[in-house]
A and B are shown apart, each in its own frame.
Chain A
């Protein structure tokens, strides 16, 4: 399997070790993560990152996908046979799995990965933590707006990269 993530030339960051451990175990499985989305509570896409799927989506398409997912997620709750449904957590398609985590505040995080990839719930929790740290706590971040926080980008990417290096070094 080819590496889905670029190998960094230098790694100088201080990534929290507990998150690091979670990510390590995720990437040890060597499964590919294709992309990551964050959707605000009204269905707007506020973050999209492609990690090497073949057809990167353009802005319009990714916005549409986010909005459609937001609706589908809500409709899946309507169709539940029993009470207390909180929406789709895992969608299994022919060529990918989609794992979705919704925070209590209504923000949705979802990751698109190879079918059968393990530990994606843990990854989404880590992303959620990074989001609270580097996005929500940033005083200049406008709530519900697209995430343009360099620190968030760096930490997200480096977490993944650093882990990949640790893996290659073994």
Chain B
């Protein structure tokens, strides 16, 4: 059910940069690490179950943010890494990673960051994909995973944020912090993502 969505989304969407089907998936998280939305368009490889996958993604972003804040070469260091104690022999296993996360909670050397504080990152690229990331000051994280050759998607993520505001945040039947089940949002998102990647 949908009450909103009739109004025009402003600003108008950025000019399409590609045509085709290069988008792999999209995640939306809130501040509490709840995966509000997961869309998958093209993902041949699944290494984990969905829940683990979402947690791992959130953990990766959380840690990368902490890392970039720490590494910021233009600022003197106020922020300490909010993760520590990596004495364990590293293994790729998820469990190990989550263990690290837990150890960070026990004794935090660093000063935890406020949302939006410090130098953050907006994308990273591997040989197989590109991840574009945007976090709003209200702590909502938008993640779009596309083909590694995709260009700058910062404006696109901003536009998706506007879609979220119109179709989700302003939908009175949507309870904040719960899974997004807004048909109009999904349709608009699919359509838009297809036009940009």
Contact = CB atoms under 8 A, between A and B. Distances in A.
Interface of A: 34-35, 42-43, 53-55, 57, 61, 64-65, 67-72, 74-96, 98, 112
B31 interface: no
B64 interface: yes
A68 B97 CA distance: 10
A77 B94 CA distance: 12
Interface in B54-107: 56-57, 59-60, 63-64, 66-68, 70-77, 80-81, 83-84, 86, 89-90, 92, 94, 97, 100
Closest 8 CB pairs of A and B: A53-B73, A81-B24, A34-B73, A67-B86, A55-B77, A93-B121, A85-B128, A81-B43
Contacts of A75: 56, 59-60, 92, 97
Interface of B: 24-25, 42-45, 47-48, 53, 56-57, 59-60, 63-64, 66-68, 70-77, 80-81, 83-84, 86, 89-90, 92, 94, 97, 100, 119-129, 131, 145
A67 B80 CA distance: 14
B90 A95 contact: no
Contact of B67 (A65, A84, A89): A65
Given A71-B86, A81-B25, A95-B74, A88 B125 contact: yes
B125 A65 contact: no
Instruction: Classify the interface of chain A: helix, strand, loop or mixed.
Output: mixed
Given A71-B63, A88-B125, A94-B72, 20 more contacts: A42-B90, A54-B76, A61-B77, A65-B70, A71-B97, A72-B63, A74-B90, A78-B56, A78-B92, A79-B47, A79-B53, A81-B42, A81-B128, A86-B128, A88-B124, A88-B126, A91-B124, A93-B68, A94-B122, A96-B119
Contact of B86 (A54, A68, A79, A96): A68
Given A81-B43, A84-B128, A54 B83 contact: no
B90 A79 contact: no
A93 B128 contact: no
